[in-house]
Amino acid sequence: MSRVSVHRDWGVIQSFHLAEKMMRWCVRRRARALCLVLACLSVLLHLFLVLLTLSVYQTPSEPQVQLPSKTIRALTDPTVTPPMDSHGKAPSGLRPPGVSIMDVGGDRNMAARTGEESSVPKQDGAVKTLSETVKMECVNTPDLQPLKPNLTKMEALFKHPLYNVPGPPLQDDDWLLRMKPKVKEQELESHQWLSASEEGYDAVHLNNDVDTHPPWLRFHMGITRWQLYDPRDPNLHLLEDQLASDKIVSALQKTGGTQLKLVMSFPNYGQALLKPMKQERNEETNYNLYYFSDFERHNAEIAAYHLDRVLGFRRVPPAVGRLVDMIKEIKETTTDGKLAKTFFNSAVGNTCFYGQCSYYCSTEHAVCGRPRALEVSMAAMLPDLSLAPRRSWRSPWRRSYSRSKLAQWEKEKDYCDTVKKTPPYDEGTRLVDVIDMAILDFLMSNLDRHHYETFEKFGNDTFLIHLDNGRAFGRFSKDEPSILAPLEQCCRVRRSTLMKLQLLALPQHRLSDVMRASLSKDPLTTVAPLLSEQHLAALDRRLARVLKAVADCQERYSNAIYNDITDYPG
């Protein structure tokens, strides 16, 4: 082989190696660039996933309404005092401004007394109270842990001047019921009432002396044109004690209605409306159910009474929680054979019954104890219709109660203009009364307000009675804006209502904190809080939405505020 051919072959080999090195370098460079691009895409993808996760799980916050500085000063200035009562000095026996069952000084151990009166046997023969039984059998859930009640906030709220503004002077015809005038001593005997001798009932001897009247009768005698009760009346505390702890001598099923309710009687002839526990406190209403198919909740009746009182309305009858012995206090006291026949023992030995009603009165929807201790709400009964007739009014914003049809107010934007021209909404305070009721219902998510009642004696110039709140507090994770339709369509609200809502939006009087403290005084709180923390947080969220709706109305209309407290500063 010649030297020239060797050199040529060697040059070809070197060229091949050089080309191979260049190709490897290009491949490595492209690989690095590709890895860099993939790394950047990975980082961007992770950032996108983080942002998407936050947007899904973060709870949307309601817009905060900034209160005018003038309003804040009026609400928080402790030196502002309301004018003197225009209808004379306060009745004897009234304590300083506060609220009976929720007063800081109003300590009571009703739950303890209930446990002492009603008990169930332990397996080893010892005695276990109903409260202890329910506590042991309640299932712990992973919900938010209840916070400690702040009684100071509640006390400060009810001492605020806004909650102590005197009402109009009371005339004789402003009282629902009045005692007969005094008679001569020789005729006094004919004006006395002595109860018949009945088993289980006390011998009640009534006359014109108020001290002889049981708490339920004093409650009836205290109803006026403007409110169901005076929050400063010490009798309210006695009435709540009676509902929570008095002996039950009779249990009868209440006729009418769609769900199970009982009328319970006490030895002093007082009565209460009982609604049993149907579902757990932390259980939300099934989203697939229509509002007219929902359960009635015992804790909703109690919480509605407290919320109505915190708002300063005083239009919900007093309601208290209680643990009842289903055998001793219902089955053995009832004279209703049909009710007694519905009692049975469940597969695990719990006492159950279902009664007779339109909905949910069957073995599949029976009310069961633990094993015979049952949580119930006990609401004070209003005076008998023969003494104080009531008129039932169809709400203008009543829902269609249909799965396919819409109500008129849901289809017409100017629906309120028609309502304003229709009696009794064309004059007086009836329209703002309905809007007060809508605000209450929105805060507790009650869609079941188809009718309301008033006392016939007072005509159209009186308050609305907020009855039947058992379907409230069904959902805490969702608000129902349509409940606010009366406010948003009519753009009218009481000044006193607005100022109290603004007060409850301030940190020192936060609505959820005041409600937590108020409910902590109920006997059933010894078993578990009546409202979960999710429900309490929903109150604050919905309150902000109400204030936002009022602020929007004030921007659109100059007469959105109905001034019912002209003498109050601010």
Strands 262-265 and 250-253: antiparallel
Q: Is residue 334 part of a domain?
A: yes
3 state DSSP class of 387: coil
d(CA 11, CA 21): 15
Question: 442 and 556, same structural domain?
Answer: yes
Is 340 among the annotated ligand-binding positions?
no
Comparing 219 with 63, which gets the higher pLDDT?
A: 219
Question: 407 and 465, same structural domain?
Answer: yes
Is 554 among the annotated ligand-binding positions?
no
The predicted-structure confidence for 302-351, as pLDDT tens digits, reads as follows 999 999 999 999 999 999 999 999 999 999 999 999 999 999 999 999 99
Asked which of 139, 162, 177 is the last residue of a domain, the reply is 139
Q: Is residue 47 part of a domain?
A: no
**pLDDT confidence of residue 139:** 44
Mean pLDDT for 360-385 is 93
Q: Is residue 3 part of a domain?
A: no
d(CA 487, CA 490): 5
Question: 83 and 203, same structural domain?
Answer: no
Comparing 155 with 23, which gets the higher pLDDT?
A: 155
Is 407 among the annotated ligand-binding positions?
no
Mean pLDDT for 495-504 is 98
Which of 433, 458, 414 minimizes the C-alpha distance to 175?
458
**pLDDT confidence of residue 524:** 95
Say whether pLDDT at 112 is over 70: no
Is 468 among the annotated ligand-binding positions?
yes
**pLDDT confidence of residue 98:** 37
Comparing 51 with 230, which gets the higher pLDDT?
A: 230
For tokens 């039947």, name the residue.
468
Question: 219 and 80, same structural domain?
Answer: no
Question: 231 and 374, same structural domain?
Answer: yes
Q: Is residue 174 part of a domain?
A: no
User: Mind telling me the catalytic residues?
Assistant: 448
Q: Is residue 37 part of a domain?
A: no
Question: 350 and 203, same structural domain?
Answer: yes
Question: 400 and 373, same structural domain?
Answer: no
Q: Is residue 82 part of a domain?
A: yes
Contact 100, 233 (CB under 8 A): yes
Question: 375 and 401, same structural domain?
Answer: no
Mean pLDDT for 95-113 is 38
Q: How confident is the model at residue 71 (pLDDT cuts 50, 70, 90)?
A: low
Q: Is residue 38 part of a domain?
A: no
Strands 271-276 and 262-265: antiparallel
Question: 256 and 130, same structural domain?
Answer: no
Domain that holds residue 131: 69-139
What percent of the chain clears pLDDT 70, i.e. is strictly above it?
Answer: 73
Contact 382, 390 (CB under 8 A): yes
Is 456 among the annotated ligand-binding positions?
no
**pLDDT confidence of residue 315:** 98
Q: How confident is the model at residue 20 (pLDDT cuts 50, 70, 90)?
A: low
Question: 373 and 231, same structural domain?
Answer: yes
Say whether pLDDT at 235 is over 70: yes
**pLDDT confidence of residue 113:** 39
**pLDDT confidence of residue 2:** 55
Q: Is residue 364 part of a domain?
A: yes
**pLDDT confidence of residue 93:** 38
**pLDDT confidence of residue 37:** 79
**pLDDT confidence of residue 562:** 96
| pLDDT, the chain, mean | 81
Question: 548 and 450, same structural domain?
Answer: yes
Asked which of 333, 357, 380 is the last residue of a domain, the reply is 380
Asked which of 139, 160, 175 is the last residue of a domain, the reply is 139
Is 505 among the annotated ligand-binding positions?
no
Is the whole model's pTM more than 0.85, yes or no?
A: no
58's CB contacts (< 8 A; 6+ apart) are none
- Mapped to the 3 state alphabet, what secondary structure does 512-547 carry? HHHHHHHHCCCHHHHCCCCCCHHHHHHHHHHHHHHH
From 4-8, 187-191, 274-278, 510-514, the region with the lowest mean pLDDT? 187-191
Strands 561-562 and 493-494: parallel
Question: 214 and 127, same structural domain?
Answer: no
**pLDDT confidence of residue 496:** 97
Domain count, the chain: 3
